[in-house]
Amino acid sequence: MKKVITLFCVLLLTGTPYADYSTPGTGKNWTLDSLVSFSGGAVTFSSGAYYLNDDTLTISSTDTLKILTNIKLYFSNLSMLYIKGTLIIDPPDSVKFTALDTNQLYKGIVLDSAHSSVLRNLIFEYANSIRMLDCSPLIDSCKIRKNKYYATGMQSGAISLFRSNATISNCEIVYNVRAAIVGGANIANSPTIINNLFMGNNTSDYNTSQINLGAGGLQPIVIKNNMILRASTNSGGIAFLPVGSIPSLIIENNIIKNNRYGIALLAGGINAYINNNIIDSNNTQGSPNLGGSGLNFAGSWSTSSVIATRNTIRWNLWGVTIQNTAKPNLGNLQNSDTTDIGLNIIYGNFNTGVIYDLYNNTPDSIKAENNYWGTMNPDSVEAHIFHKPDNPALGFVDYIPLGLPTGIIKNNITISGYEMLEIYPNPFNPEVLIKFRINTAGAINLKIYDLLGREIRTLLNNNLLSGEYEQNWNPTGLPSGVYIIRLATRENTFYKMISFVK
């Protein structure tokens, strides 16, 4: 039987680093230009760009640094921006924080009790991390890429959480040397992670996942509407190994594809709702003894409650694996919790020439009613599930009644009569098929935008009758990246992120 091993660090809060220049703490709003004038050379301006020349620039607890214009800030080797007050980055286009020498990187940003900070439209690259200590900033519409774990006092993830309920939304977090988002196993973090692209992280091929977290706080952890794609051989999609508990975890409407494994919950004390995800082709390492599960549940589960419903789990080495005393709910029609209704689509998960859509490696019985297993023949389903009939020491999997296939669920989102049925494939190359259904006749506008909000293509601008429609798009001449499909009517607007990968 396989084993998934995910490593977590126990984070310790380090002391405040030495600062070469600290703002006076007089309640002032600072800009980079005012820092050029008053920092004594810590910040300079030359040839259209700003430079942080000393080890650490500290914004004191009552002060604010605002960057509201399009600029570039070059950081010298091992330099750092340390925010005790407030950092506001909100340019019309972009602010770029980058290394003066990409072979000699900088530490990055520390937000220490910086409660009202906002980072929007920031390109953050060739650093160690954005580290959040006891604060919950907004990080929105940023590009966080090619960052490397190397500096003491920081942490391994491109975004590192320490008692933080940060909101991370609409970002591209790609090709970082370790995890995209990390939190200590014993540190209660409750981030909201929505509408992001995670791709190619953990370039060092370390044993970690792209989102790698531990304990949760009182606020729910929400991981929703993300694409978590194409990590290195040893990288998983999402993993939790808490030392402590997770009172509430919602993993919903994500595409998790081409990682070592999809989602792993590896300890007890987790209350989770895993809903409407596509968990597809997580088999990059290729060894069924070391990974490859679409969903993996392990650890001591005496206090856990996990419901997995409406997920599509296909083409992984294993579909669902259950170990130790884990006991997830995959469908219990007698449960008073009406969310526990199955409706998962689980098929085509195989290794060593055998289909393993569900492997119950525990002595307990598992409820998995009302799911579709690629066939409506109970005998065929039995052959896809490993449990008590295969080994008398194992618990029984109750998979009867079978559920009927319900089509592609991930994109079946209804908005006041307008329903996006399918975007396939996603990511795509060279062409994507967009299907939608109109329940009421009216004006329909279908456009493509980039992540900066610039219009790229108009695909449709017509009055259409009710019915189902298909529209192809081939982004000839456009670079790889994430684009946004915008479907608009007179009453409603719907957005969907897609990824073009050459």
pLDDT digits (tens, 9 = 90+) for 50-83: 999 988 999 999 999 999 999 999 999 999 999 9
* Statement: residue 10 has pLDDT above 50: no
Average pLDDT, the chain: 88
- Cα separation, 358 vs 349, in Å, equals 9
What is the DSSP code (8-state) at residue 186? T
User: Does residue 37 sit in helix, strand or coil?
Assistant: helix
User: Among all chains, which residue has been given the structure tokens 């490993």?
Assistant: 386
Residues 406 and 418 in one domain: no
| The total number of structural domains that make up the chain | 2
Alpha-carbon separation of residue 410 from 172, 276, 279, 358, 426 (angstroms): 21, 6, 10, 21, 11
Residues 368 and 422 in one domain: no
* 48 domain-assigned: no
**Residue range 462-485, pLDDT digits in tens:** 888 777 778 888 888 888 888 888
* 267 domain-assigned: yes
Return the bridge partners of 169, or none.
Answer: 140, 194
CB of 100 closer than 8 Å to CB of 51: yes
Host domain of residue 479: 413-500
* 52 domain-assigned: no
- Cα separation, 242 vs 297, in Å, equals 13
Work out the pLDDT band at 20, boundaries 50, 70, 90. confident
CA 334 to chain centre: 33
What is the DSSP code (8-state) at residue 17? P
Name the domain boundary from 364, 395, 410. Answer: 410
**Residue range 277-307, pLDDT digits in tens:** 999 999 988 899 989 999 999 999 888 899 9
Residues 397 and 435 in one domain: no
For residue 224, the number of C-alpha atoms closer than 13 Å in the C-beta half-sphere is 13
* 176 domain-assigned: no
Name the domain boundary from 410, 442, 470. Answer: 410
Structure tokens at 265: 């919950």
Question: Can you give the pLDDT at residue 445?
Answer: 85
Dihedral (Cα; 182, 187, 192, 193), 10-degree rounding: 10
- Cα separation, 10 vs 12, in Å, equals 7
Residues 315 and 440 in one domain: no
Work out the pLDDT band at 423, boundaries 50, 70, 90. confident
**Residue range 141-178, pLDDT digits in tens:** 999 999 998 766 678 899 999 999 999 999 999 999 99
**Residue range 336-375, pLDDT digits in tens:** 888 999 999 999 999 998 999 999 999 999 999 999 998 8
* Statement: residue 248 has pLDDT above 80: yes
* 114 domain-assigned: no
Structure tokens at 104: 């000699």
Non-local (6+) Cβ contacts of 107 within 8 A are 78, 79, 80, 127, 128, 129, 151, 153, 154
Residues 268 and 312 in one domain: yes
**What is the reported pTM?**
0.79
User: Does residue 69 sit in helix, strand or coil?
Assistant: coil
Q: Which amino acid is at 476?
A: T
Name the domain boundary from 376, 410, 444. Answer: 410
Q: What is the 3-state secondary structure (H, E, C) of 368-430?
A: CCCCECCCCCHHHHHHHEECCCCCCCCCCEECCCCCCCCCCCCCCEEECCEEEEEEECCCECC
What is the DSSP code (8-state) at residue 64? E
CB of 351 closer than 8 Å to CB of 327: no
Question: Can you give the pLDDT at residue 493?
Answer: 61
Residues 302 and 439 in one domain: no
Pairing of strands 442-450, 481-488: antiparallel
The percentage of the chain sitting over the pLDDT mark of 70, rounded to a whole number, equals 90
Question: Can you give the pLDDT at residue 418?
Answer: 41
CATH of the domain at 449: 2.60.40.1930
Residue 46: which H helix or E strand, with range?
strand 43-46
* 117 domain-assigned: no
